[in-house]
Amino acid sequence: MDAQGDVNRGEFTWMISNFTQLISRNLYSEAFPVSGCQWRILVYPKGHVSDHLALYLNVPDPGTLPNGWTKFSLSVIDQINNVRSIRTETQHYFTATESTWGFTSFMPLTSLHNPRQGYIANDTLVIKAEVCVLTVTPPVIIQPARPTDKFNSYFTGLEVLINAAETNGASVGSSSCHQDGALRAEIPSLEEVEKAMQSLKEFLSDLFRLNMKERLSEALSTLSSARTGLTSEQQLAIETFRANFNDFISDFLKFEQHNAEFELHKVQKDQRFSTMKKCHETHILYKQLMDDLIKEEEEVKSRRDKLLSDWEILLIESEEAKSGYQDELKKVAEAEEKKRIAEERMSRSTTAWSNLKAQFF
């Protein structure tokens, strides 16, 4: 233990011999005093919860803890090049329930055992602890963002999207059917739409399976070969249609396919929009419930703070009463001793008085 002029500060250097041969899962250093309290270093040579050296500062007897925050650092010394020594600093309010605090992943075990570095020299590891007990009030903790903040931000953006969709929804898809706002009064399910598409495909397939294409082609061939019964305009129309017959069949099938896909995606869009609106409405309900809960928590915190304040006053009164009681105990003992001496003297005086009276009466 390095001597320090300030009793609230202290340093301790721990040299662990035969480090690579240690079998124990963890190891404590000898205790060293700072601010009237004993402290120890706790090390996990092979790691605690990861492949890293774990270092902690520990209080073996929390009952001796000073009242205040403790600022401390732990270092692993590079015994070849001190500049490469690793030092990590933090602060903690040690209590009976949190008497150990430090660093689960202080440094990788691969770096620790690297022979080109001097963290382990002659199979010895050197750890240094610097401890300072602060006599200041606990630092003000900045409240982290509430877990609801990110939800509020997300659903605010979602609300903008919904409003924009409801504003423009009346004109979207209005060429095929009239819609009330963004949603139709009754939207068929995906299962119904897929079933209708399958029926349409089967109908088209059946249409050409029944040789309608061949029959139409034969009719066009016959009509184009006809010399009577047709006007010149009719013959021209038949020849033009026959010349583009395959394109007509292909275009017809593509239209039916793409039209069915359009109707499907339009229904899916409407269903997604309906789900989105329901989620947003549920969010508003959750937000109200969370706000009510936060309000209740603030009220509970206020009552808790009031109780703690009253408790501190009670503690002061209790300490004053305890101190006064102990003082009175001493005074009672002193008074009792004086009373005993006085009684003895009074007894002697009474006896002398009785003897005197006996001589004259």
pLDDT in tens, 202-252: 545 555 544 556 666 666 667 666 555 667 787 788 778 777 777 777 777
pLDDT in tens, the chain (361 residues): 444 457 789 999 999 999 999 988 999 999 999 999 999 999 999 998 789 999 999 999 998 898 888 999 999 999 999 999 999 999 999 998 889 999 999 999 999 999 999 999 999 999 999 999 986 444 444 455 555 666 666 667 667 767 777 666 543 443 443 444 433 434 555 565 555 555 545 545 555 544 556 666 666 667 666 555 667 787 788 778 777 777 777 777 777 778 878 888 888 888 888 888 888 888 888 888 888 888 888 888 888 888 887 777 887 877 778 878 888 888 888 898 899 898 888 888 888 888 888 888 6
Query: Domain check: are 160 and 280 in the same one?
Result: yes
Counting the structural domains of the chain, the total is: 2
The enclosing domain of 31 has a CATH number of 2.60.210.10
Full domain range(s) for residue 45 = 9-133
Yes or no: say if 100 and 46 are a contact pair by the CB < 8 Å rule.
Answer: no
pLDDT in tens, 161-181: 677 776 665 434 434 434 444
Q: Could you give the CA distance from residue 37 to residue 35 in angstroms, rounded to a whole number?
A: 6
330 found inside a domain:
no
Yes or no: say if 131 and 72 are a contact pair by the CB < 8 Å rule.
Answer: yes
**Could you say which of 245, 262, 294 is where a domain stops?**
294
pLDDT in tens, 75-92: 999 999 999 999 999 999
322 found inside a domain:
no
* Residue 338 main-chain phi, psi, to 5 deg: -60, -40
Query: Domain check: are 271 and 205 in the same one?
Result: yes
Q: Could you give the CA distance from residue 28 to residue 292 in angstroms, rounded to a whole number?
A: 48
CB burial of 108-117 (b: ≥16 within 10 Å; e: otherwise) equals eeeebeeeee
